[in-house]
Amino acid sequence: MDTNGTAPKGSRPRNSAATKELLLAAATAEFADFGLAGARIDRIAERAGANKRLLYVYFGDKDQLFEAVLREQIGRLAEETPLVNGDLVAYAAARFDFMLAHPETARLAAWRRFERHGEPSRAEIDSYRAKVDAIAAAQRAGRVNDGIPAVDLFAMVLRITESWLDAPPALAAAVGTDPRSDDRLAEHRAAFLEAVRRITAPRTAGRPHGTDA
């Protein structure tokens, strides 16, 4: 491709959708590594194997590209970690598996909190509101513990799903284990799912509200 973003004579022009996808993937990796301030358009274009002019054509400036990356990540997370019928155990398992497979998602979220003060998008707010509403509905139906407000219960489950993935490195060192070994991850997954199961299970019928288990 020449400096004008056009393919050299005799070469096959690249599909625009494919180019946008490559640029978005490259930007995701770049922003996850360096944040918004540290990311470089030249490196993103080089990662994607595309002319950087196309990045401005498709996405605008670097800020707009960062927002596009965040929207893609938020949408993908929501799609792959549905909350069905208020089933927080299944949700927690899916979210842990997603975050383990896509560590760039957590890094991007951390950069956004640091550089953008965590300002959420409308789509993200709506997604969380729908989940809290689903938990509240499950509580009313008696499927989920109603002794904890739905929003607090959801917040707890969110943090539990990342409790080991975001744990201080010194904690793993203190117990002398490889934090990402298959055995350690499997052990932790089973443990946190049991914790989620316990805090979300419906309370025993007939037990007065506020009574300890």
pLDDT tens track for 119-165:
777 888 888 999 999 999 999 999 999 999 999 999 999 999 999 99
Enter the pTM of the model.
0.81
pLDDT in tens, 158-205: 999 999 998 888 998 898 889 889 999 999 999 999 999 999 999 874
**What integer pLDDT is reported at residue 208 of this predicted model?**
44
Q: What is the CATH number of the domain that holds 26?
A: 1.10.10.60
- What stretches of 10-163 show up as alpha helix (H) in DSSP? 16-38, 41-48, 52-59, 62-80, 88-101, 103-116, 122-140, 150-161
60 and 153: one domain?
no
With cut-offs at 50, 70 and 90, classify the pLDDT of residue 7: very low
> Higher-confidence residue: 11 or 19?
19
100 and 41: one domain?
no
Selection from 20, 23, 16, 15 nearest residue 39 by Cα: 23
- Structural element, H or E, at residue 206: none
99 and 197: one domain?
yes
- Give me the number of domains the chain comprises: 2
pLDDT in tens, 97-127: 999 999 999 999 888 888 876 677 788 888 8
**What integer pLDDT is reported at residue 5 of this predicted model?**
40
- Structural element, H or E, at residue 68: helix 62-80
Which structural domain range is residue 110 located in? 81-203
Q: What is the CATH number of the domain that holds 143?
A: 1.10.357.10
